[in-house]
Chains A and B, each alone.
Chain A
Amino acid sequence: MEDKVMTLKEAIKKFVHNGCSITFGGFCGRNSQAAAYEIVRQGKKDLTFIDDSPTDQLDILIGAGCVKKVEIAWHGVSIFARALNFRRAVERGIPRKIEIEDYSNYAAGLRFLAGAMGVPFLPTKSLLGSDIPKYNKRIKIIRDPYEGKPIALVPAASPDVAIIHVQRADVQGNAQIWGHLANDDNKARAAKHTIITCEEIIPREKILQIPNMTIIPSYCVDAVVHVPYGSHPWSCYGYYYHDVLFQRDYSKYNKTYEGFLKWLDEWVISCDDHVEYCNKVGRERLLELTKMEQMLNKIPI
């Protein structure tokens, strides 16, 4: 069996290049937080970020100057604050001006589905009558050829790289996900390269016990990376609960750009890797989040 296991440093170095397009899995939970931190550490530039509703991972990448363009439906950080790096970039060009293509969440979801199906677009009854297509010329409104009524078309998204954080995978990349799936089944299929980061690498035999839970098959996976607590501070169903207090503290720093840079230095740049970040968050704290989650949700086998 092919073994695709590598470190996060190796995976980002190998697949994420300056100027490439990228998407992250999760949706306000099970996010690719560790990957975002590593991209900042490696100083990647000019990324086009394609997603549905990214949260602090994108705000951090924008603040660190890694992003040139976003194709998204929404961007916030957490319940505490707006994405202030995003605002500073759009309104004042700090640290650089970024381009925006606005979609809706369903439109973003359909873009990845189209990419995963290998077709150039998909139709939807969203977007009609709004200003989203007025400012985003890649969305087309046509008369549907069967009934003659207006319908919106959204272009397929096939990012260069998708990074999806999951609960479990085998070394070949069969990835199993519990809890909400967001658009991850399609993001993994649509991307040219897919990196799976996971809470646990499990033996093939365990995958075979519940093959229906393999949401992402190994044939669309290029790398498997073991990253426990890889979506902290976000929740990971069955593994740990949402550390919303960590986000409260991020929002205190992020009020100014200087404050953000201080946060970035403390939590990302001065940590060698995700293990060091987790040590800094505190192992006892992470364990408490795990206990809390397992009172709520347990993975059955």
Chain B
Amino acid sequence: MNAKEYAKDYTHEELMATIAAKEIKDGERVFVGIGIPMIAGFLAIHMYTPRTTLIFEGGYIGGRPPFTCTDVGDSVLGFKAPYITSLWRTFSDLQRGYFDLAIIGAAQVDKYGNVNSTAIFGNGTYDNPAVRLPGSGGANDIASSAKRILIMVRLEKQRFVPKVDYITSPGYINGPGTREKVGLKGGGPVAIITDKAVFRFNKNTKEMYLSELYPNISIEEIKRTVPWINIAEDVRVVEPPTMEEIEFIRSFDPTDIILRRKRFFENIDFQSWVMLHKLKVEEAI
């Protein structure tokens, strides 16, 4: 067997996608949103877990689009989809317990994995916030009822806070036993995947801790950004992406709209955009 060939040139977003992909087990039903989570899902199917089913909240389930969607209701998600349904049905299946893993984003996250995507209060209030964010969307439902949750967020001081201004999507709320007490069905967050490190949760205290570092990132750097963070005894360094992973990720995003490695997408003209997508469809047919 050939040794793995690691990519020399890759972005943090690409690394995040490969790490998230490895959290998926074969045959799992995975609820994903737009952007890197969706790329991670299709990377997993392409390279590691071909029996994985991806669920998109508008009602597209199990599709195999030839290129990345640019919104969760894009018709490309219907390509080779065995099942298309409604939004309330998709979430009912989630609540019923059919879905194993889900990936959500966050504007703020706290030590118990509670996520805020509603409003940053600043000096204001819920009604008069410093920054109004988009709101829950399906994230609250996903965090409530999926068996395992991955949170994807940039590692920045203002995003990692001891307590979020507003719990949009519950993690372990106030600590051990709280999810059960308030009546939630799902298992809660298992990992936070950032652009510098991966955090996981202590089984007993339910507090997040630094678990894995990216190449060339130090524990001190993480501590400077998140002074309150717990550190695992054996912090390991993640495996960089392989050439094969990077090739798939880039070809799945032919216009660079998700990855934004270059400023290519800002100026692409309509005809070139059409051509790049048509080539991908022809490959897939």
Q: Which of A's residues lie within 8 Å of B, judged by CB?
A: 26-30, 52-53, 55, 72-76, 78-79, 82-83, 86-87, 90-91, 100, 102-107, 109-110, 112-113, 124-132, 135, 149-151, 179-186, 234-238, 241-242, 244-245, 248, 285, 288, 292-293, 295-297
Contact = CB atoms under 8 A, between A and B. Distances in A.
B145 A128 contact: no
A167 to B, nearest CB: 11
Residue picked from A183, A186, A235, most chain B C-beta under 10 Å: A235
22 contacts: A72-B135, A73-B138, A74-B136, A76-B134, A78-B70, A79-B71, A87-B132, A91-B132, A104-B139, A106-B94, A126-B140, A126-B141, A129-B179, A130-B144, A130-B168, A131-B166, A131-B167, A131-B168, A150-B183, A180-B59, A180-B60, A235-B73
B236 to A, nearest CB: 32
B136 A150 contact: no
Given A79-B70, A109-B91, A179 B135 contact: no
B78 A296 contact: yes
A183 B87 contact: yes
A106 B99 CA distance: 15
Given A86-B132, A130-B170, A297-B79, A183 B74 contact: no
A130 B59 contact: no
Contacts of B58: 27-29, 180, 182
Given A105-B138, A183-B88, A125 B185 contact: yes
B277 A292 contact: yes
Nearest to B124: A91
B86 A184 contact: yes
A295 B281 contact: yes
B145 A126 contact: yes
A103 B270 contact: no
A266 B137 CA distance: 31
B145 A125 contact: yes
Nearest to B273: A245
A288 B185 contact: no
A255 B185 CA distance: 41
Contacts of A27: 57-59, 72-73, 87
B278 interface: yes
Given A26-B73, A28-B71, A102-B135, A179 B78 contact: yes
4 closest Cβ pairs, A-B complex:
A109-B88, A28-B73, A29-B73, A180-B59
A106 B88 contact: yes
A82 B118 CA distance: 12
A297 B71 CA distance: 17
B129 interface: yes
